[in-house]
Amino acid sequence: MSNLILISIKSKYVDQILSGHKTIELRKAMPKATKGDMIIIYTTKPVMAVTAIAIVGNIINCTPAEMWRDYKNKIGVDKKSFNEYYKTATKAIGIELENVFKLDAEILLSAIKLINPQFSPPQTFKYLNKFTTLREYKSLRNN
């Protein structure tokens, strides 16, 4: 059974993902994810909405130097930003995103909070229960 993972990404990087320019999402922490898991992309301010879905290709676990050397054309950041992000890290994690699909209609944070007032977007990852999430989504659509 595959995982359902909510991930927060800055708007400028979501745009690069949707254009196909950025195919690897960088992280400092290893997600509990495997090939085939579904990623729900929450776009941070100013959008503040779930905007896209993707499938996990592979999880890359290497040093920052190896990540830059091997994947710099797929990560959507310049060398300065990359170095700043990983300045104290010894490990770089890359989530390969496949089959990226932009939602026809964004699911705004305000709408999510109508059915789950305690919801807050994750700083890194949030693991969702597929059945609870589907039930809550159907409830939202029927209101």
Residue 15 is part of a domain; what is its CATH number? 2.30.130.30
pTM summary value = 0.86
Domain count, the chain: 1
Give residue-wise pLDDT tens across range 24-81: 999 999 998 999 999 999 999 999 999 999 999 999 999 999 999 999 999 999 999 9
Q: Could you tell me which of 142, 116, 113 has the C-alpha nearest to residue 129?
A: 116
Whether 134 has a pLDDT exceeding 60, the answer reads no
Q: What's the distance, CA 98 to chain centroid?
A: 12
Q: Which two tokens stand for residue 44?
A: 């941070």
Domain of residue 19, residue span: 4-142
Q: Identify which has the larger pLDDT, 67 or 4.
A: 67
Residue 71: Cβ-neighbour burial (10 angstroms; 0-12, 13-18, 19+): middle
